[in-house]
Structure 1
Amino acid sequence: MIDQGKKNVIGVLVNSLDYEAAVSTIITAAHQHQPMSISALAVHGVMTGVLDRIHRYRLNHFDLVLPDGQPVRWALNLLYHARLPDRVCGPTTMLLVCERAAEEGLPIYLYGSKPSVLEALSHNLCKRFPKLVIAGAQPSRFKQVSAEEKREIVQQIRKSGAAITFVGLGCPRQEVWAYEYRNDLSMPLMAVGAAYDFHAGNLAKAPEFLASLGLEWVFRLAMEPKRLWKRYLLLNPLYIWLFTLQSLNLKRFDPQDTDPPLEEMRYG
């Protein structure tokens, strides 16, 4: 399947594509040293854009937004007859990109999270893909960084020789990072969310049968109820309501109805 282009899902633009098209696009951009901002948005990620006009501007200026989460895939299939066979999950896409990067000699860089997570993640990725070159890893500074600190981060990634940078800062900080650093780094910047903890072995993934039914959120809520209850119990019903309004043509969601950021957030 080729990328069918960006489609409007309650005001947020999501690419209608499958894993093969997503990975091919990212790898091609890496070979060509092409700046590219990428994220995989499930319901929560879409809703961060719906509820924040500035963040909606950022998301709608991403080069590639993957339909992570079955409800997002269902929306594309129902609204646009996309016939997507599956969602394009961020953690799975990360592994597929690493597999291709290893085969084609494209070094990767890991940005975000904690040193212990990066160490376990690097170990597990290299064990899974022996030819994979991890050019560098840099933990999050867990704060907004100065302009000088941002230049330092950019220089470290550039000097590493990496061709692809994965960003694990949590949603929506990682999307802000990928948006703000895009033009400073001539490579794909992929926000991957919980992929770091999944692949480091710190967080269990939902059984595939739950994910296929769009119920991965139930598993994750059970694992982290205090952190995730608002995300799922409030945002999921709101997503369904807004999608219903869009599908019945009762409300128009304009992707251009946004506000550009007036200044950088500069998460680090």
Structure 2
Amino acid sequence: MGNGYKRKVKKSLIPTCNIMGVNIAAINMEWLVEYLEKNIADIKGDYICVSNVHTTVTSYEDVSYCEVQNGGLMAIPDGGPLSTVGRKRGYKNMARTTGPSLMGEIFSISAKNRYRHYFYGSKEETLKLLEKKLKKKYPGIQIVGMYSPPFRLLTEEEDKAAIDRINEAKPDFVWIGLGAPKQEKWMAAHQGKIDGLMLGVGAGFDYFAENIKRAPMWMQKSNLEWVYRLMQDPKRLFKRYWSTNTKFIWNAMIRRK
């Protein structure tokens, strides 16, 4: 991304399916967790995008954001429709890998692997709740720092101080909860500057702080989690879902972009 970052592991080893210009990782959760366990020491400084229909359609319409999605280590298929399209295009083992589910998988092996976690984003009260809930649910988890940035652009001095705080904490995983597209742009701008693997997980902080509930497992497995989220926040999400879902169906499924 123009910051001199040199990747230690080969992206060519990660299978991808190009959907509307975005190279979505053609993987499943088992593959991803094994990959992260094996390579975490070599992928610090890089970032993972947790991609869905909304981010994919946004990338299709915004070249610079598409470059951000493709510029990290990988873009994983958080949205069920992405993995569905991938399987139809021949990637039989491709399956949905959601941000919250990935967080849970990593948290559950953190004590054993001595992983260190840093959380950047969300509100101060959410971070406090998050820390409390995680320590209760995952005994031995190491939370080495949390920061709720102001809802504005940081000055150059403030940004440098934030980077220094993160790096001084020596995290393995740096979870970014700023929401799309802000979190992906933030990770791309900090690629090679942060000494930890950055993962943009959107509402993941709220899920684990138990501010909001995830859909029942049958809805998750049926690619209907978006319906559950829509019922929780109809005013904010209806227009987005109507617009992006129709564009995705037309371009990815009908036109095979």
TM-score, length-normalised on structure 1? 0.87
Aligned counterpart, 1:266: none
Kept in 1: contact 2:122–2:148 (CA 8 A): yes
Kept in 2: contact 1:39–1:90 (CA 8 A): no
The alignment of Structure 1 onto Structure 2 pairs a total of residues equal to: 245
Kept in 2: contact 1:14–1:65 (CA 8 A): yes
Show structure 1 runs of 5+ residues with no match. 248-252, 254-268
| Superposition map of 1:72-91 within 5 A | 72-79=82-89, 81-84=90-93, 86-91=95-100
Aligned counterpart, 1:170: 179
Deviation at 1:42, TM superposition (A): 1.5
| Superposition map of 1:62-211 within 5 A | 62-79=72-89, 81-84=90-93, 86-211=95-220
Provide the rounded CA distance (Å) in 2 between the counterparts of 1:33 and 1:59: 16
Provide the rounded CA distance (Å) in 2 between the counterparts of 1:168 and 1:200: 12
Provide the rounded CA distance (Å) in 2 between the counterparts of 1:149 and 1:27: 32
Deviation at 1:24, TM superposition (A): 2.6
Show structure 2 runs of 5+ residues with no match. 1-12
Provide the rounded CA distance (Å) in 1 between the counterparts of 2:239 and 2:228: 15
Are 1:17 and 2:27 an aligned pair? Answer: yes
Deviations 1:197-219 (CA, angstroms, capped at 9, x unpaired): 11101011112222222221111
Deviation at 1:66, TM superposition (A): 0.8
Moved over 6 A (4+): none
Are 1:37 and 2:47 an aligned pair? Answer: yes
Deviations 1:94-129 (CA, angstroms, capped at 9, x unpaired): 111122222111211011000111111111111111
Kept in 1: contact 2:135–2:141 (CA 8 A): yes
Specify whether residues 246 and 4 from structure 1 end up closer, same or farther in structure 2 by C-alpha distance, changes over 3 A only.
Answer: farther
Aligned counterpart, 1:222: 231
Provide the rounded CA distance (Å) in 1 between the counterparts of 2:14 and 2:154: 37
Kept in 1: contact 2:22–2:69 (CA 8 A): yes
Kept in 1: contact 2:100–2:201 (CA 8 A): yes
Provide the rounded CA distance (Å) in 1 between the counterparts of 2:199 and 2:94: 22
Aligned counterpart, 1:260: none
In structure 2, which of residues 14, 18, 26 is the aligned counterpart of residue 8 of structure 1?
18
Deviations 1:187-243 (CA, angstroms, capped at 9, x unpaired): 210001111111101011112222222221111111101111121111101100001
Specify whether residues 33 and 7 from structure 1 end up closer, same or farther in structure 2 by C-alpha distance, changes over 3 A only.
Answer: closer
Specify whether residues 136 and 209 from structure 1 end up closer, same or farther in structure 2 by C-alpha distance, changes over 3 A only.
Answer: same
Specify whether residues 65 and 25 from structure 1 end up closer, same or farther in structure 2 by C-alpha distance, changes over 3 A only.
Answer: same
Instruction: Give aligned-pair identity as a percent.
Output: 27
Kept in 1: contact 2:119–2:175 (CA 8 A): yes
Provide the rounded CA distance (Å) in 2 between the counterparts of 1:246 and 1:62: 27
Deviation at 1:85, TM superposition (A): 6.0
TM-score, length-normalised on structure 2? 0.90
Deviations 1:135-156 (CA, angstroms, capped at 9, x unpaired): 0100121111122211111000
Q: The residue matched to 1:141 in structure 2 has which SS?
A: coil
Deviations 1:150-173 (CA, angstroms, capped at 9, x unpaired): 111100001112121000001111
Provide the rounded CA distance (Å) in 2 between the counterparts of 1:29 and 1:184: 18
